[in-house]
Structure 1
Amino acid sequence: MKIGIIGTGNMGKILIEAFIEAGAVPPENMTITNRTLKKAYSIQSLYENIVVKETAEEVAKDADIIFLSVKPLDIHPLLMRIDHLLTKDKCVISITSPVSVKQLQSLVSCQVARIIPSITNRALSGVTLMTFGENLSAEYRDYLTEICGKISKPITISENVTRVASDIVSCGPAFFSYLLQRFIDGAVSETEITKEQATALASEMIVGMGKLLEKDLFTLPTLQEKVCVKGGVTGEGIKVLENELGDVFHHLIQKTHEKFDEDLCEVKKQFH
């Protein structure tokens, strides 16, 4: 199948690179475009068989599956422009959480899905969140699951957990890299370790922790139990986290959902 990607910003570029490097989509089967064409041609310089088109209309005409890698409020006007090219045998995919599959279905006559990627997909790992439209064929479901399975673990979610699932999968790397950076800053500030050494140690630690979880050697609770010896140093550190973190993650989820609700309202105005 031919894959089209409209928008080659951060996430669009990650999908392109991951699909190609995982062998999920051959470069010659991929057609891309971007508002700033220089970005698309920059990707073509890395994968010369990729086809760059000057307009979204050309991508929609050429591809079987079209990924819309644009901002939420840009999706409605984009679909209005290319709708006449979206025949029933094609599939449109949004990668942004505020636009639901029902909204996509209300606007176009082709098949639809939503696939929310993560920056971790660039390492051919992590999760992609999948929600399929009612009109999506079994052939497309299987194919999308297959190609996403080569760059991640595809997980199907319902509409009501879209935001929190995105918080964990897509925003999570930013949240936890921030916490890890603060951990490093604290170590450097309070001791004689250099920032470079602390960063190297912390990075290897987090990679190793991920592998422990990946291999099902420990769960998160048992991992804490194994490291946290009663009356030991780790236990004292856990006490500080318990006292000072408080409800920080409750507040974080509340804030992301507040912003999500704002985005939903703006998108709803367009689709209604």
Structure 2
Amino acid sequence: MGKIGFIGYGAMGKMIIHGILESGVLEESEMIITTRTLNKLVDLQESYPGVEIAQDNKSVAKKSSKLFLFVNTGNVKEVLEEIMDHLSVKTNIIYIAAGLTMENVEKVFPGKISKVIPTLTSEVHEGVSLVAHNSQVTLEDAEFVEKIFKSMGEVKIVQEEEFTLGTNLTSSAPAFIAFLMMKFTESALKHDIFTREEAEEMVTETLYGTAKLLQKKDMAFEDVINQVATKGGITEEGLTVLDQGIAPLFDELFSTTLRKYDQLETRLNKEYKK
């Protein structure tokens, strides 16, 4: 059996690689890694000397039975074309590029392909990674990929067409939630009672506690709302304001992001016809 290869060490790739190493789901000696700028891997090599650092993409491809591509969406085709002659027919390619369908990847590499949309919250071993496999991926291959991402959080198996909406609910959601909480906090600061540090700490702790209630106590969103908002109370008044403004806002958010996803997919379809 070959090594487990990794090409790319950007923000998401770095997070996943460190998550794998910290969890112990793979041994250092099983991993071979390269990236465009090799000096980015100096700290990794110092912390995990058993990891093999390769000089180029082809070297990783030659040695890998499973190969993770952590490169930008626009660079996946270029990298695959570069390493094609060095891949085994049994190699499982795992990539994380949003908007790039497995059908398009198969036009370059007609083999075993898995697509994963990870989430930033995997850094703290929480959240959901979305995973799909093409028809050539064996049960053993699929279980390997799922095991890797389960070491950093939850895994949800989806169909290709479910990635568009699912990405909003998982991978993009931390940014949406953080933005909403930031604006919520900024509005509170206009009343000059708490410092930004105090307000952000209260909101962060409350957000964390709310998430724990939902998960640990198996509560639904409506359960939390009903327990906090008493009839005719202050919270109920605030919820009325939110209901009037938030619902149309989220409708527009989903319309805009799904449209952007379609535009990206259309552009990539044209690129992969060449």
- TM-score range (shorter-chain normalised) is over 0.9
Q: Is contact 1:6-1:59 (8 Å) kept?
A: yes
Structure 1 spans left out of the alignment, 5+ residues:
none
Q: Which moved more, 1:200-209 or 1:101-110?
A: 101-110
CA distance in 1, matches of 2:240, 2:44: 48
Give deviations 1:103-125, integer Å, cap 9, x for gaps.
22232143111011000111111
Q: Secondary structure at the match of 2:47?
A: coil
Count of aligned pairs between the two proteins:
272
Q: Secondary structure at the match of 1:112?
A: strand
1:94 is the counterpart of 2:100: no
Between the aligned residues of both structures, percent identity stands at 26
Q: Secondary structure at the match of 1:49?
A: coil
Q: Secondary structure at the match of 2:171?
A: helix
CA distance in 2, matches of 1:206, 1:189: 21
Q: Secondary structure at the match of 1:114?
A: strand
Q: Is contact 1:12-1:69 (8 Å) kept?
A: yes
Q: Secondary structure at the match of 2:170?
A: helix
Give 1:1-272 correspondences, 5 Å limit: 2-272=3-273
CA distance in 1, matches of 2:46, 2:257: 37
CA distance in 2, matches of 1:13, 1:207: 25
CA distance in 1, matches of 2:29, 2:182: 40
Q: Is contact 1:2-1:64 (8 Å) kept?
A: yes
Give the partner amino acid of 2:94: I
Give deviations 1:176-199, integer Å, cap 9, x for gaps.
100011111111112411111111
Q: Is contact 1:86-1:110 (8 Å) kept?
A: no
Give deviations 1:91-111, integer Å, cap 9, x for gaps.
101101211122222321431
Q: Secondary structure at the match of 2:114?
A: strand
Q: Secondary structure at the match of 1:102?
A: helix
Q: Is contact 1:86-1:109 (8 Å) kept?
A: no
> 1:78 Cα shift?
0.9
Question: CA RMSD for the aligned pairs?
Answer: 1.5
Structure 2 spans left out of the alignment, 5+ residues:
none
- Superposition misfits of 4+ residues, deviation over 4 angstroms: none
> 1:19 Cα shift?
1.1
Q: Is contact 1:22-1:124 (8 Å) kept?
A: no
Q: Secondary structure at the match of 2:93?
A: strand
Q: Which moved more, 1:28-37 or 1:172-181?
A: 28-37
CA distance in 1, matches of 2:215, 2:86: 43
Q: Secondary structure at the match of 1:175?
A: helix
Q: Is contact 2:65-2:88 (8 Å) kept?
A: no
CA distance in 1, matches of 2:92, 2:168: 26
Q: Is contact 1:94-1:115 (8 Å) kept?
A: yes
Give deviations 1:154-206, integer Å, cap 9, x for gaps.
11111222111011111100011000111111111124111111111111111
Q: Secondary structure at the match of 2:172?
A: helix
Q: Is contact 2:101-2:265 (8 Å) kept?
A: no
Give the partner amino acid of 2:176: F
Q: Is contact 1:116-1:129 (8 Å) kept?
A: yes
Relative distance call for 1:155 and 1:246 in structure 2 (3 A) is closer
CA distance in 2, matches of 1:98, 1:259: 9
TM-score, scaled relative to structure 1: 0.95
Q: Is contact 1:87-1:109 (8 Å) kept?
A: no
Q: Is contact 2:229-2:235 (8 Å) kept?
A: yes
Give deviations 1:242-271, integer Å, cap 9, x for gaps.
122241111111111222122112211221
CA distance in 1, matches of 2:198, 2:52: 43
CA distance in 1, matches of 2:186, 2:26: 41
TM-score, scaled relative to structure 2: 0.94
